[in-house]
Amino acid sequence: MRLNYDKKEGLYHRRVFDSDGVEVPATGGGQIRTDQRSVYAPQLIQPVGSDWNFSYDFTASYELAPDILLYGTYAKSFKSFGLNQNGVPALNGVPQIDLATAKPESINHFEAGLKTQFLNRRGTFNLSLYRTTIDDFQASLISTRDPGLVRPYIANAEQARSQGVEVDFQLRPTDRFSFYATGAYTDAKYTKFTTAPPPPEYTSGANSTLPIDGNGNIIGTPGAPGVPGGQSPPYVDASGGRLPGVSKWSFSVGGEANTPISLFGKDGELFGGVDVSYRSNFSSNPTPSIYTWIDGYTITNFRAGFRGDNFSIYGWLRNAFDTNYYDQLLVGPGNTGVIAGIPGDPQTWGATVRFDF
């Protein structure tokens, strides 16, 4: 059990000047000033907050037989509230001050599984099933309505949930060979997120966002996604959308073989190994978008060399088959309709020499 107290204070002050060095006021000043603020608005926010949180966990386990353990866990935890220190997005030219802070997360985690060893502990097989729900999930978002916001901001989704199965298998039948295989199925999504920033296909221009009334209802009808000139909604309902960066399926397999050898008068082993990993497609944008899904890919790595007690030398080849893939696709800040891609590492090779003292 743990009792935690957090207190935070922040300050963000953004000042805007025109080409003559005259400061642009936060309000007023005519149409020219209004147009300038719609792109880059002055802001002064001083977020503060404090909070108490109580967390605990409980685990029960039972040894079914020697080297076979059944367990179950429940954990109640939290993530401290956050401050946005890079500014907040603007809606119809007005900074959304309510986004200056993000509420703390409340996390409930359930897990049950099996841990086993066999063949005189040369083999391992572990299985776990889990379900995690997060109330007030802190999502890292990018505003597509305010080109002046050049960094992500944190805001709360009402709830997110992750559940799945993980399997881990390792086998070392002899001192000269080892093998492993792992797999995971992960179902992670927003169970409720009714005020997500619109994805790029709903963004028709810097000044085309529909207004909302005092109750938060959208005034007017949004245009069709992907059609230029339409009106963009101030937010969308992303409930049911997959959480960014999470593949439903992931697998990895690998192995290593070695043989005794003497090198430079030192006893050791000559070894060679391979690792292969795969992940299925995943969403790369905080709000799922048709433009930011990354296809699944497989990466293969090789290594070979000599390994002794305090000296090793080996070569390695990463992404051996030069797979082309993206680490991330993201909405380019300060633009409408620009998708930036961060490519993964290409085929890379090298050598490492290591001495231990």
Which of the 8 DSSP states describes residue 226?
T
> Sorting pLDDT into bands at 50, 70 and 90, what band is 352?
very high
Query: So what's the pLDDT on residue 97?
Result: 82
Structure token digits, residue 46: 């001083």
Q: Specify whether 80 is located in the same domain as 191.
A: yes
Q: How far apart are CA 296 and CA 325, in angstroms?
A: 8
> Sorting pLDDT into bands at 50, 70 and 90, what band is 134?
very high
User: Is the confidence at residue 16, as pLDDT, over 90?
Assistant: no
User: Is the confidence at residue 235, as pLDDT, over 90?
Assistant: no
Q: How far apart are CA 307 and CA 317, in angstroms?
A: 17
Is 214 a domain residue? no
User: Is the confidence at residue 67, as pLDDT, over 70?
Assistant: yes
Q: Specify whether 292 is located in the same domain as 181.
A: no
* Mean of per-residue pLDDT scores for the chain: 87
Number of domains in the chain: 2
User: pTM for this one?
Assistant: 0.84
Q: Average pLDDT of 246-268?
A: 92
List Cβ neighbours of 354 (8 Å cut-off, separation of 6 or more).
311, 312, 313
Q: Specify whether 21 is located in the same domain as 162.
A: yes
Q: Average pLDDT of 42-54?
A: 88
User: Is the confidence at residue 334, as pLDDT, over 60?
Assistant: no
Q: Average pLDDT of 207-229?
A: 68
Side-chain-facing half-sphere of 345: CA atoms under 13 Å: 10
Q: Specify whether 260 is located in the same domain as 189.
A: no
Q: Specify whether 187 is located in the same domain as 302.
A: no
The residues pairing with 167 across neighbouring beta strands, listed in sequence order, are 127, 183
Q: What is the 3-state secondary structure (H, E, C) of 3-30?
A: EEEEEEECCEEECCECCCCCECCCCCCH
Is 227 a domain residue? no
Range in 89-93, 158-162, 260-264, 343-347 with the lowest mean pLDDT: 89-93
Residue 293 CB neighbours (<10 A): 15
> Sorting pLDDT into bands at 50, 70 and 90, what band is 349?
very high
Is 216 a domain residue? no
User: 91 or 134: which carries more pLDDT confidence?
Assistant: 134
Query: So what's the pLDDT on residue 206?
Result: 47
Domain extent, residue 296, equals 248-357
Q: Specify whether 288 is located in the same domain as 192.
A: no
Q: Are 247 and 280 in contact (CB under 8 A)?
A: yes
User: Is the confidence at residue 333, as pLDDT, over 70?
Assistant: no
Query: So what's the pLDDT on residue 225?
Result: 75
Q: What share of the chain is helix, strand, coil (3-state, %, to 5)?
A: 5, 55, 40
